[in-house]
Amino acid sequence: MKNIPDFQKWKAAGKPITMVTCYDAATAKILNATSVDSILIGDSCAMVVHGFDSTVHATVEMIAAHTAAVRRGAPDKVIVADLPFLSNRKGIDHAMDAVDQLMKAGANAVKLERRKGNVQLVEHIVDSGVPVMGHLGLTPQSVNEFGGFKMQGKSSSAAKALVEDARMLEQAGCFSVVLECIPGDVAEEVTRSVSIPTIGIGCGPEVSGQVLVVNDLLGMDAQFQPRFARKYDNLSERIASAVDRYCADVQSAAFPATGEYTSRLAKLEG
């Protein structure tokens, strides 16, 4: 079984680290049999699974329930769970309670967004034996401050701040950091500035690994697709087609057929 210290080994070996999000046991069961290194129970589940328009609506209970489901489906994968909006901003006791719930649900590590004011908390979580992943750049929990899901780190001062933030997170004990939607050259500079692996989303190839929302890579949403996500399938179309074929078969009485049900008579004769 892969584990958190493997992240450093993969980086040292020059092996790009692969991570996808997952929210449910059925998908987790499929992922458990793939080569993916790690699974993230992202607070994106508030949007992707629960239909909210931002991740502000995620709660600790929500992430913990999805983490428990994913752990039941994927017993062999390294699981990271997102600390949701404000759960790490209401004092250390409240934050540690959230960490406790996510770890007891089956996570191997927690991820938290931004650095400002978080360094001591990161140190405390790490000193408590819980690995922490940082998250810099487009941190979706700050969508109201950003005014939308907009690329970050474009100015040279913002790029400099990202390098400093990444160094601070490394110093505080983070085992890895997610870089989301920042320019590729900035992601490269951040990656060169720290010894912990960087996991990129929407910031190019010069990072230590990649993460994508599993629904995006499967093409589960016909309407919404972030520009940076590659569709490896078109599941929204394939699922709609399968359900329409099922409905047509029911209408034409082609389903159910012999063998798809049991009659009492057949049982007695058999």
Ligand X SMILES: Nc1nc(=O)c2c([nH]1)NC[C@@H]1CN(c3ccc(C(=O)N[C@@H](CCC(=O)O)C(=O)O)cc3)CN21
Ligand Y SMILES: CC(C)C(=O)C(=O)O
Q: Which residues contact 117 (CB under 8 A, 6 or more apart)?
A: 89
Question: Helix 156-172 and helix 119-127: axis angle, to 10°?
Answer: 30
For the question of residue 206 being annotated catalytic, the response is no
| Residue 37 contacts ligand Y per CB under 6 A | no
The interface region with ligand X, picked from 43-51, 90-98, 116-124, 185-193 by CB under 6 A, is 43-51
Of positions 44, 88, 101, 191, contacts ligand X by CB under 6 A:
44
Q: How far is the CB of 48 from ligand Y (least distance, A)?
A: 8
Within 178-197, the residues that bind ligand Y by CB under 6 A are 178, 180
44 binds ligand Y (CB under 6 A): yes
Residue the block writes with tokens 């900035």: 186
Q: Report in angstroms how near the CB of residue 12 gets to ligand X at its nearest.
A: 28
Site for ligand X in 120-179 (CB under 6 A): 138, 140, 149-151
* Long-range contacts of residues 7-16, Cβ cutoff 8 Å, at least 24 apart: 7/38, 7/78, 7/175, 7/176, 7/196, 7/197, 8/175, 8/196, 8/197, 10/37, 10/197, 10/208, 10/209, 11/196, 11/197, 11/208, 16/208, 16/209, 16/210
178 binds, among Mg ion, ligand X, ligand Y, none (CB under 5 to 8 A by kind): ligand Y
Catalytic residues: 180
User: Which residues would be at the binding site for ligand Y (CB under 6 A)?
Assistant: 21, 40, 42-44, 82, 135, 178, 180, 201, 211, 213
